[in-house]
Structure 1
Amino acid sequence: MRLSTLSLPASVLALASLVLAEGDSDVVSLTTSSFDSWVSAEPLALVEFFAPWCGHCKALAPHYEEAATTLKEKGIKIAKVDCVEEADLCSSKDIQGYPTLKVYRKGEAVDYTGPRKADGIVSYMVKQSLPAVSDVTAEKHDEFTKADKIVAIAYLPSSTAAPAAEFSAAAEAHRDDYLFGVVSDQDAAAAAGVVPPAIVVYRSFDEPRSEYPYPIAGANKKEISEWLAELSIPVLDEVNGETYGIYASSAKPLAYVFVDPTSEDKDAQIAAIRPVAQKYKPKLNFVWIDAVKYGDHAKALNLQEQKWPAFVIQDLQKQLKYPYDQSKEVTTEGVEELVKQYVAGTIQPQLKSQPIPENQDGPVYTLVGKNFEEIANDEKKDVFVEFYASWCGHCKRLAPTWEQLGEKYAAIKDKLVIAKLEVPENDLPPTVPFRIQGFPTLKFKPAGSKDFIDYEGDRSFESLVTFIEEHAKNPLDLPEPVKADEPAAQEPIAETKKEEAPAAEATAHDEL
């Protein structure tokens, strides 16, 4: 029988559509009334706190749904909380930005630190469901070695034989990163071609199998962890938003090969660099990157021409760049020579700088790469610097306040400099002992010193003034404002008000 929807009340239709939407999803929607009881009952669950308007949340949504369906079959539930509808609940959970993901075990939460793609979410949560170290039987051995990109197995005479304790300690520390197992069945070890005691890592890339190369009896948590970290990074693989964190957490410099992914020669261009990557892997991490998608990143690394392939080395710790001459063809020999010189410390970084301004008449002094040391390290002056990016929304909101701060102290520029530097357009010299990780960053250098103090207060004019008064070494005596003679008659002056800065946003954003 066919029903006419016109005869149904609107409230019934709304309820029906809601039930249909929820029924079609394997993601559980939680509210204030259901949250605590639900998470307390689940041995393991993943919860997303989101806002419907959040672009990152929208990008995550299909991956989250796909992961929920896959994990449902494994007995692991996934849920979400709409922080617009459930604002009080999200506030009580100290949610600062969207999306925020948390792993719950019987009501106890820890931050989710895994990938944001479906397969990555599944892999991460499956690891969370397992013991830090799984017992691996002969029947499950082959399957277990292929269960993740990095699988570490300790083959031991017994489950308690050395170095079982140190291996377990490494597993507890890195359960989010790798999959760990132990084989104490001697027949299983023999079938795998391993003579206990031994630790073997199985990988889905590069050399598929690597055995712990040091004396196994002395293996400890630190050494095992460092060995795994080294093996977790491919000789030469793609870097993107999902994988960048792996390289950023490494102490090694990063060598990029920028290629056009549509080029017929892309694979050959990458292959030409692989021998260099294999040779120098102990010193640098090598990656290839989509030059079309990440063209702005190429410019930030001082590759000024859109000419691909291109090669550049970046010291991630000091944020220094060493680009390959773009007027030359990128060859295996040329890249190896640049890498060789970099490792030997015989080449200088290429520093980017805007031109030094012809005048500095404004209340805020404009710093660039070329004049930073001269001005910022002047020990006769107190110097307060805003490090900013032109695209940063927080920086735009701070700009009028920073100008106001400059105006307040304009009369004593010889004692106190209020300055700004646009970080994406200017590299800090190698001698500067810090790097800028987020925008805006505010740093103050007292007179008589070359050491900078981080400003970590709120960004109101009053708080900035208070900070200066507390840390400045030079006297801050300002001249009295000059009063004009009062005219006999005065036209009414229209009242003007400074536009107030928008209220601080309730959520954090991804502006770095």
Structure 2
Amino acid sequence: LVWLLVLSLSWLGPALGSEEKEAEVVAEEEEDKVLSDELEEEDGVLVLHEHNFARALSEHQLLLVEFYAPWCGHCQQLAPAFAQAATTLRNESSPAWLGKVDAMAQTALASEFGITSYPTLKLFRDGNRTHPLAYTGRMDAEGIVRWMQRRVGPSAMLLQDTDTAATFITSQDLAVVGFFKDLGGEAAQVFYEVASEMVDLPFGVAQEAELFQEYGLLTDTVCLFKKFDERRTDFPMDKAQGLDVAKLTHQLRVHSLKLVMEFTNETTNEIFNAKIPHHMILFLNKSSSAQLALQDGFQAAAGTFRGEVLFVVVDVTGYGAEVLPFFGMTPADAPTLCLVKMENNRKYRMDQDSFSDVAIRTFIQAVLDGKVK
């Protein structure tokens, strides 16, 4: 029931965050025992405290540390995934290690690193204790492993010839390639920074003139290659403004989504992480061929509002059935079209007289213009 409630609240904005430590909560006193600087492990994860923390930093080039509280539900859920990620990295002979700190017992460490919510993950590199990097990846084993792998090696693969580039692009559903005439320049460095954070996308980088020619480019450009919709989207670099980390990240997030997304367990994170301000939702019964045909007009309208409105299909008899109560609907209400403003969760139900692309575009534009109350 708890899971169903969480899923039903997805369109309230996925604001499920870490459990905040109340100011009144006080840490239990440490047991009276002498701790050495020996490094011990639990399920492949280093158990860290104030006596061995410095040693762990000195011995491990990359150390991702989880600061947790024993009473924290999110921490308890993360524990098996964190251990699995540690095992995977160990099996790959990676220089990246994982460690954990009981912030309730190790109050000095928690205070030093400003820990106020749990779990908090921080990456320590090359023994640097003063400037740890906040973890920004997914809270599952695969997400942790990918995030760490991007920090072990280059964040983007160097593509040196047409064959290598073609293989890189065609072997994956999505691939990002930055074409830069100067790989040491500022634009390329911004690209590498974006690549290090967007660990769910493969990144390549190219400098050779033959590759610029092969892909019809004259100036520095970031290209997103995909095996759906328009197949390729180019983001030419503005010579005056250069590349911006936040802007490029958002553009890649938006354009890596299909024009029309189906709401499933696998796509939920993608849908909400894109942070598109409006969602246009088509509720339908996928077992009905007549209702399935309504997707044609829905798909045709989607391109007009890319980046501003995300088009989502919800199967009322499948995974999407769990969110129907949030919209005050039952499966019998399908087919239905509804626009949601993500900022305030306001919902606008479209008149069901027509599901044509023209009608859908007209309705959306009217809502965006403030003409629909």
TM-score between both structures, scaled by the size of structure 1: 0.51
Q: How far apart, in 1, do the equivalents of 2:341 and 2:330 lie?
A: 21
Q: Distance in 1 between matches of 2:100 and 2:172?
A: 26
Aligned length in residues = 315
3-state SS of paired residue (1:221) = coil
Determine if the alignment matches structure 1 residue 236 to structure 2 residue 260. Answer: yes
Indicate which of 75, 80, 84 corresponds to 1:66: 84
Aligned match of 2:135 in 97, 112, 124? 112
Check the 8 A contact 1:170/1:225 in 2, yes or no. Answer: no
Q: How many Å apart are 1:204 and its aligned residue?
A: 5.2
1:27 to 16, 22, 45: 45
The one-letter code of the counterpart of 1:112 is: Y
Unaligned residue ranges in structure 1 (runs of 5+)? 1-20, 350-512
1:255 Cα deviation after fit: 1.7
Residue deviations 1:279-308 (CA, integer Å, cap 9, x gap) = 4325411224576767675444x4344544
Say if 2:177 is the partner of 1:153. yes
> How far has the Cα of 1:96 moved from its partner?
2.0
Map 1:98-137 → 2, pairs under 5 A = 98-105=118-125, 106=127, 107=129, 108-131=131-154, 135-137=158-160
Deviations 1:108-165 (A, max 9, x none): 31211211233322222222334465533347545654798754323344535xxx43
SS state at 2:132 partner: strand
- 1:220 maps to a residue whose letter is G
What 5-or-longer segments of structure 2 have no aligned partner? 1-39
Q: Does 1:79 align with 2:116?
A: no
1:57 aligns with 2:75: yes
Q: Does 1:277 align with 2:295?
A: no
2:114 corresponds to:
94
Instruction: Provide the alpha-carbon RMSD of the alignment.
Output: 4.0
Question: 1: distance between equivalents of 2:307 and 2:137?
Answer: 26
Percent identity, aligned pairs only? 21
Instruction: Evaluate the alpha carbon distance shift between residue 290 and residue 88 of structure 1 in structure 2; reply closer, same or farther with a 3 A threshold.
Output: farther
- In structure 2, the CA distance between the partners of 1:166 and 1:22, relative to structure 1 (3 Å rule), is closer
Corresponding residue of 2:26: none
CA 1:259–1:79: 2 relative to 1, 3 Å: farther
Rounded to whole Å, the distance in 2 between the matches of 1:197 and 1:55 is 50
Q: 1:256 aligns with which of 281, 290, 296?
A: 281
Find the partner of 2:337 among 298, 305, 311.
311
C-alpha displacement at 1:99, in angstroms?
1.8
- List aligned pairs for 1:120-199, cutoff 5 A: 120-131=143-154, 135-138=158-161, 141=165, 144-145=168-169, 151-159=175-183, 164-172=185-193, 175-177=196-198, 180-187=203-210, 193-199=215-221
Shift of 1:246: 2.0
Aligned partner of 1:341 in structure 2 is: 363
> Which residue type is aligned with residue 68 of structure 1?
A
Q: Distance between the aligned counterparts of 1:270 and 1:62, measured in 2? A: 43
What code does the residue aligned with 1:343 have? Answer: Q
Cα–Cα, structure 1 residues 271 and 294, in superposed 2: closer, same or farther, change >3 Å? closer
Q: State the AA in 2 paired with 1:257.
A: L
Cα distance in 1 for partners of 2:105, 2:362 equals: 57
Instruction: Give the SS at the match of 2:98.
Output: strand
1:193: Cα distance to partner?
A: 4.3
2: CA distance, partners of 1:189 / 1:50: 48
Secondary structure at 1:254 match in 2: strand
- Listed one character per residue, the Cα deviations across residues 257-288 of structure 1 (whole Å, up to 9, x for unaligned) are 3467xx64599478443333234325411224
1:247 alignment partner in structure 2: 274
Cα 1:49–1:244 shift into 2, 3 Å? farther
Closer, same or farther: CA 142–119 of 1 in aligned 2, 3 Å? farther
* Structure 1 residue aligned with 2:7: none
Which structure's relative contact order is higher, taking Cα pairs within 8 Å and 6+ residues apart? Answer: 2
Aligned residue in 2 for 1:354:
none
AA aligned to 1:152 is V
AA aligned to 1:154 is G
> Would you say the 8 A contact 1:155–1:196 is kept in 2?
no
CA deviations 1:433-461 (Å, max 9, x no partner) are xxxxxxxxxxxxxxxxxxxxxxxxxxxxx
> Is contact 2:350-2:363 (8 Å) kept?
no
> How far apart, in 2, do the equivalents of 1:78 and 1:189 lie?
41
CA–CA distance in structure 1, aligned partners of residues 110 and 210 of structure 2: 52
Alignment of structure 1 residues 37-52 onto 2, 5 Å: 37-52=55-70
What is the rounded CA distance, in whole Å, between the counterparts of 2:218 and 2:320 in structure 1? 47
Q: Do the aligned partners of 1:259 and 1:308 also contact (CA within 8 Å) in 2?
A: yes
